[in-house]
Amino acid sequence: MLTTFFSMFQIFRDIATNEEGNIEKELETELMSKNAQVLQKVDDKIDELSDRLKSIEASISKLSKSNDDSKIDESAPTTYLISPESKKKSKLQHVFRNVSNFMMGVHYFSEWEDFFNVQWRMSVIHHNDHLGVFVFCQPIAPTDQWSIRMKLEFKVIGPTENVVSRTWERCYQSKDGWGFSKFLEWEDMEEWHLVNGNLIVEVHGEILETTGLGREKMRRFDESQKDVSDVILVVRDSKFYVSKMFLASQSSVLKVLLLGSFSESKQSEVTLNGVDPDDFQYFLEVLYGEPAIDDTTVEGVALLADMYDAPTVIRKCEEFLLGKSEKDLEKKLEIATRCNLKKLKEMCESELSFIRLMDD
C-alpha cells in the first residue's frame, strides 16, 4: 500500500514537473517572441533613419559639381541651387461681385496685399467685349530707381473646375499694371465662369529679381572684409566676403555646404542661385548681430533663415513678428506657416479663432 502511494506521488510529481517545465518553456517562448518584436521595431527604425540619411546625402551630393574622386580646382567657383520651397512666391485671390454690371473701360480692384516688401493688387476690366486682368505693384520702401521682375500666372476659375489660365513674365519699373487686356471673351466669361454673378480670379506670382528695394546697409561684406574672410558667397551680381567657420556655427545647411566632404568646401567662391542679394545682406547682418529686422525685411530674412536652418535668425524673426511687427494677423500666419515659426503660428491661429468666435 505504501509502495503504491509513493508510486502515485512520483507520478504526480513528474506531472507537476513536466507542467512546470512546459510553463517555463511557454514563458521563455513568449519572452523570446516579444524580444524579437522589439528588435524588429528597432531594426525597422534604424532602416528608416538610414533611408532618410541616404536620401539627405543623395540630395546634398547633387549640389556638388564633382564627386570625391574628381580633381578639384580650388580657384573655380561652384554653384549651390536653392530649393523650390524657398522661392519668393505669392498668391492673390479675389471674388469680384456683380461682374455683369461692370461699366465698360473701368478697372475694378482687389485690396492691396503685402508680399516681400512689395504691395500687390489685381484688377479686372470690361474691355472691347473682353475680360481684362491686370496686376499692379507698389514697393513699400523704393529708391528712385527700382525694378521687380515677376513671373505671373493668371487664372479665372469657374464652377466644376472650369479654369482659364495664362502666364506672363514682366519687369515692373513703375506702379503701372500689366496683364492681359483680352484675357477672355466677355460672353464666354458670363456663360462659363460666373457663379451667382460673381467671378473668382487668382494670380500666382514668383519674384525672380528685384533692384532698388533695399535700405541702407548696416554692415559691409565687400572686398574691405577680404583679410578676415576665407570664402566668397556670390549672390547674383553681389559678392559677400565671409568666414566659413562662423557661418557653419550658425547654420547646419551652410556647415554642410562649406565644411562638408563635397567640392563646395574646397572652393574659394560659392554661388547661391535663386537668392535675392538684399535679403541675403539682411540675413548676414542678423547673423552678425545687427538689428536688421523690420517689417520691410522680416519676410525675406525668415525665408532664408528657414532654408539655411539658422536658429538664431529664426528666433529673432519670430520675436519681432510676435512683438513689434505691425503686419496683420493673416500676413503673420502666412509667414509663420511658410517659415515654420511654431509659436507665431499658434498665436495667430488662437487670436484669429477668438476673432471669428466674437464675430459669430
Question: Which pLDDT does position 131 carry in this prediction?
Answer: 94
Task: Sort 18 into a burial class: Cβ within 10 Å, 0-12 / 13-18 / 19+.
Answer: exposed
Question: Which pLDDT does position 264 carry in this prediction?
Answer: 54
Q: Where are the domains of the chain?
A: 88-211, 223-359
Q: Is residue 201 classed as helix, strand or coil in its secondary structure?
A: strand
CATH of 88-211, one of 3.40.50.1100, 2.60.210.10, 1.20.1250.20, 2.60.120.280: 2.60.210.10
Confidence at 118, pLDDT banded by 50, 70, 90: confident
Question: Which pLDDT does position 53 carry in this prediction?
Answer: 40
**Cα–Cα distance for residue pair 283/10, rounded to 1 Å:** 86
- pLDDT above 70 coverage of the chain, percent: 72
The vertex-190 CA angle with 185 and 196, nearest 5°, equals 155
Contact assessment for residue 156 and residue 200, using Cβ atoms and an 8 Å cutoff: yes
Cell 554642410 locates to 256
pLDDT digits (tens, 9 = 90+) for 233-279: 999 889 999 999 999 999 999 998 888 765 555 678 888 887 888 88
**Whole-model pTM?**
0.58
**Cα–Cα distance for residue pair 90/252, rounded to 1 Å:** 27
Neighbours of 138 (CB within 10 A): 14
C-alpha cell at 58: 543623395
Contact assessment for residue 293 and residue 282, using Cβ atoms and an 8 Å cutoff: yes
Pairing of strands 178-185, 130-139: antiparallel
CATH top-level class of 223-359? alpha beta
Confidence at 63, pLDDT banded by 50, 70, 90: very low
